[in-house]
Structure 1
Amino acid sequence: MKVVWVFLCTLFYSVISLASGSESCPGAGNVALRAGVYTAPASRAGDEWIAVSSAVTASQLESFEGAVFYPENNQPGAAGRIGYCEYKARDRSRVNLYYRQRTANEHSMRLANVENWKMIESGLGLVVYECNAANASACAFSIID
């Protein structure tokens, strides 16, 4: 019985180590704007959220609007990559923040809070997941190491 317990504990901790914690879209108030570039820190050290304004004069973000996640191989499932988090700025323009990983070897991601993500299939066969929760932190995912 002790061997089974040790095996289960080892399995549990190895699964936990595969995911590096939860990440989510940053709240609009946590996004800094400087010289037309929007940035926000990510939970994972060295990673960040970033966007470059297309407006002549960029304005602060006002509200979170939603997020898009692209599943691997365009197949329904929880593994893939975060596409972007969308915000509305004070000047009514839309800003998409992208998740930038610190390494050139980008890691896959897995949806978290799956109940907040809705699968959408376009008429052209593109499969995406959308999160339209009112709170940016509800649109969560984890990085798979």
Structure 2
Amino acid sequence: FPLMSVKDNLLMGAFTRTDKAGIEQTLESVLTRFPRLRERFNQQASTLSGGEQQMMVIGRALMARPRLLLLDEPSLGIAPKLVQDIARAIVAISRDEGVSVLLVEQNSRMALSISNRAYALSTGQVVLSGASKDLMHDERIKAAYLGGEL
């Protein structure tokens, strides 16, 4: 919702909730997790950087208090520093809030470093699966997705 403020975008994520106190608590949690959103709270969403927009999108999803969070390419088109921030946030969301995260990500290095389990796809078929720490050292993964070495 590019023409809406960051605040309104986040609150849209809670549109099915009726617990006003819970919504405020979740909003505070999101703003604590993503301090840049607090700084830009009343700013129009279209003026945010790519990384800030990604934080807002994740924050909006968290406002619904999901049990499963599906993230599609959260690192796409954002600065490397913000990729690290997003990755840390994904780990913290899973750890601290007990939210399962299904991550679809071409940045294999980042995805493998923050996940427990991974699946490698080729033309829509699962070609490898296993514990992320094992796949990170698998020669086939290195050759196909990590440029040959870590």
**Common fold, TM-score beyond 0.5?**
no
Superposition TM-score, scaled by structure 2 size = 0.25
Superposition TM-score, scaled by structure 1 size = 0.26
More strand by share: 1
Structure ranking higher on relative contact order (CA contacts 8 Å, 6+ apart): 1
More helix by share: 2
